[in-house]
Structure 1
Amino acid sequence: MSEEHRETGTGWPEPAEPVRPSGPAGEPDPRPEAPDPDELSPLAPAEREAEAPPPEDPPAEGSGDDGPSGSVAKAGPASRRLTSAGAMIAVLLALLGFTLVVQLKTTSTDSSLAGTREEDLVRISSDLDSRERRLRQDIAALEESQRQLRSGEQGRQAALEEATRRADELGILAGTLPAVGPGLSVRFEGGDKATSSARILDAVQELRGAGAEAMQIVGADGTSVRIIASTYFVDAQGGGLVVDGRRLAAPYTVLVIGDPATMRTALNIPGGVVASVADDGGTVIVEDREAVEVSQLHAPIKLEHARPVS
């Protein structure tokens, strides 16, 4: 290189292009470290770009090419499956929540007391308190009897008194002994539907549940029948009732011994006996009595198979 070239910086020679090494007879260089022949291609970058194939146009919608739209089309069913599964889970969760809410409302709400007035609720509460006191008194009496029966010398006398008292109670319940005590007189008046056997039976069951100890029913002609556990009521042809095989004419009066306040509350509960008879066009007249006499007796039941244990 001349001094002029060094001073002016011009006239520098062009760098020589790399020469593709080749082996004998123009074969590729067998050396392992030899460069790739394609890297030594004499084509210029512009020529390479010219020779490159033009980019293909994106396939039209609905074509069957495996382009981007084809990928989206393939991803569509998966997305729909995921969306359907999510919707199904949401529906199941909604149904489960609805079921739980309905169950909680059902268990927490008493339909029979939902529309009851405040004074009726007070009477029902008083009835329950009276029953509780009566049961506690019975428990205390039984515990006292047990203590006396275990107290040595007085045990025999206490056992005899207890047996006598128990026999009297069973006689009253079985209808073989008369009874007297405070209670109610319940009179049923009205048509055949209001004084049907179903209405009388409902009244008897309500009175038993309220602590009735003895009952008898009296017809218009004075015919009386003692009401016990096995007593049945049937509507007679032509009107009237058949009670334990005896026919009674309306109106009917039920004499019952027990706590008057508790039994009156049981008859007057909403939807009870008094309300049902009133709906059928009849009336129920309830009177408190200090002394109700239940004198009609029931014939003793002849036992065929049972016998007392000695």
Structure 2
Amino acid sequence: MSDDDARRDPPEEPPEEQPEEPPGKSAEEPPGIIDLLRPRTTAGQLMGGLLCVLLGFALVTQVRSNQRDTAFSTARQDELVGILSDLSQRSERLRGDLRDLEATKAELERDVQGGTALQEARRRATTYGLLAGTLPAEGPGIDLQIGDPGGAVRSVNLLDALQELRDAGAEVIQVNDVRAGVDTHFLDAAGGIVADGRPLRAPYRFLAIGDPHTMTTALNIPGGVVRSLRSAGATATITSHARLTVSAIRSR
């Protein structure tokens, strides 16, 4: 080598030694396949997933609704005719059942009304029969017996006793064998007293159906029937009964 060449080409310096990298990936090494496949969850991904779920639910609901709405629109003509015929038959059967029920209801109402009217008629007939004296009667009441040893009792005394018993609520009254009615009257006659044309003999017995306590109290008031009879020399005995029978009836 000549001196000129040595001046033109300076001697090469040895390369600087680079620090050795630690084993593994370098900072500039591109990511590998495993890193790319590793899942990374973000808030945006969660929101997107939730929207997808809601959208899928809405689509399923809409499809089912459309299927229900189009059930008849997709049926064949003969199927629709059969469905219509079946509905018509069911409707007619229901109307027939309704007519039968209404008829049964009306019949039951007539029976109830008729039975009620019949019961009311029977009750009134019984009441009128008792008041008129054409039916026997039974119930609580008293037995008033008037003794007349001196013959001092007059028709007015018996009339007072009858009127006092009626005022005290007596419903049915029998005097000896005579059933007292609304037009019952007493007359003095030879040998005794006559009631509605039938002679009465002492002792005079009144059977009265009603409240025993009320009638007994009314007869025993000061100046009442019992006091008047005893003042006239007659006797008066009152006996209460829980069940008393009045068997005498008046002719129609």
Measure, in 1, the Cα distance between the counterparts of 2:189 and 2:243.
32
The answer to whether the aligner puts 1:215 opposite 2:167 as a matched pair is: no
Query: Per the alignment, in what secondary structure is the counterpart of residue 122 of structure 2?
Result: helix
Give CA deviations for 1:196-249 in whole Å, capped at 9, x if unaligned: 11111001001001111111111xxxxx11111111101111x31111111111
Amino acid at match of 2:243: A
1:192 aligns with 151
1:206 aligns with 164
1:281 aligned to 230, 233, 245, which one?
A: 233
Measure, in 1, the Cα distance between the counterparts of 2:155 and 2:134.
24
Give CA deviations for 1:71-96 in whole Å, capped at 9, x if unaligned: xxxxxxxxxxxxxxxxxxxxxxxxxx
Measure, in 1, the Cα distance between the counterparts of 2:203 and 2:235.
10
Give CA deviations for 1:68-125 in whole Å, capped at 9, x if unaligned: xxxxxxxxxxxxxxxxxxxxxxxxxxxxxxxxxxxxxxxxxxxxxxxxxxxxxxxxxx
Amino acid at match of 1:192: G
Query: Per the alignment, in what secondary structure is the counterpart of residue 212 of structure 1?
Result: coil
Measure, in 2, the Cα distance between the counterparts of 1:292 and 1:285.
16
Measure, in 2, the Cα distance between the counterparts of 1:229 and 1:198.
16
The answer to whether the aligner puts 1:178 opposite 2:136 as a matched pair is: yes
2:179 aligned to 226, 235, 241, which one?
A: 226
Give the drift of 1:155: 2.5
Query: TM-score of the superposition, structure 2-length normalised?
Result: 0.55
Query: Per the alignment, in what secondary structure is the counterpart of residue 296 of structure 1?
Result: coil
The answer to whether the aligner puts 1:235 opposite 2:194 as a matched pair is: no
Give the drift of 1:254: 0.6
Measure, in 2, the Cα distance between the counterparts of 1:214 and 1:248.
19
Query: Per the alignment, in what secondary structure is the counterpart of residue 229 of structure 2?
Result: helix
Measure, in 2, the Cα distance between the counterparts of 1:297 and 1:268.
28
Measure, in 2, the Cα distance between the counterparts of 1:177 and 1:229.
14
Give structure 2 stretches of 5+ with no counterpart.
1-108
Question: How many correspondences in the alignment?
Answer: 143
Give the drift of 1:297: 1.0
Query: Per the alignment, in what secondary structure is the counterpart of residue 200 of structure 1?
Result: helix
Give the drift of 1:156: 2.3
Give CA deviations for 1:261-307 in whole Å, capped at 9, x if unaligned: 0100110111100111111111110000122111111011xxxxxxx
Amino acid at match of 2:178: V
1:297 aligns with 249
Measure, in 1, the Cα distance between the counterparts of 2:189 and 2:139.
32
Query: Per the alignment, in what secondary structure is the counterpart of residue 158 of structure 1?
Result: helix
Give CA deviations for 1:11-53 in whole Å, capped at 9, x if unaligned: xxxxxxxxxxxxxxxxxxxxxxxxxxxxxxxxxxxxxxxxxxx
After superposing on structure 2, the runs of 4+ consecutive aligned residues of structure 1 that deviate more than 4 Å are none
Identity %: 49
Give CA deviations for 1:125-149 in whole Å, capped at 9, x if unaligned: xxxxxxxxxxxxxxxxxxxxxxxxx
C-alpha root-mean-square deviation of aligned residues, in Å? Answer: 1.5
Give CA deviations for 1:165-192 in whole Å, capped at 9, x if unaligned: 1101100110111111110000001233
Alignment map for 1:1-150 (pairs within 5 Å):
none
Structure index of larger Rg: 2
Query: Per the alignment, in what secondary structure is the counterpart of residue 265 of structure 1?
Result: helix
Measure, in 1, the Cα distance between the counterparts of 2:199 and 2:139.
27
Amino acid at match of 1:174: A
Measure, in 2, the Cα distance between the counterparts of 1:287 and 1:187.
9
Amino acid at match of 1:156: G
1:264 aligns with 216
Query: Per the alignment, in what secondary structure is the counterpart of residue 241 of structure 1?
Result: strand
Query: Per the alignment, in what secondary structure is the counterpart of residue 156 of structure 2?
Result: helix
The structure whose RCO (Cα within 8 Å, separation 6+) is larger is: 2
The answer to whether the aligner puts 1:158 opposite 2:116 as a matched pair is: yes
Query: Per the alignment, in what secondary structure is the counterpart of residue 242 of structure 2?
Result: strand
Query: Per the alignment, in what secondary structure is the counterpart of residue 163 of structure 2?
Result: helix
Give structure 1 stretches of 5+ with no counterpart.
1-151, 219-223, 301-310
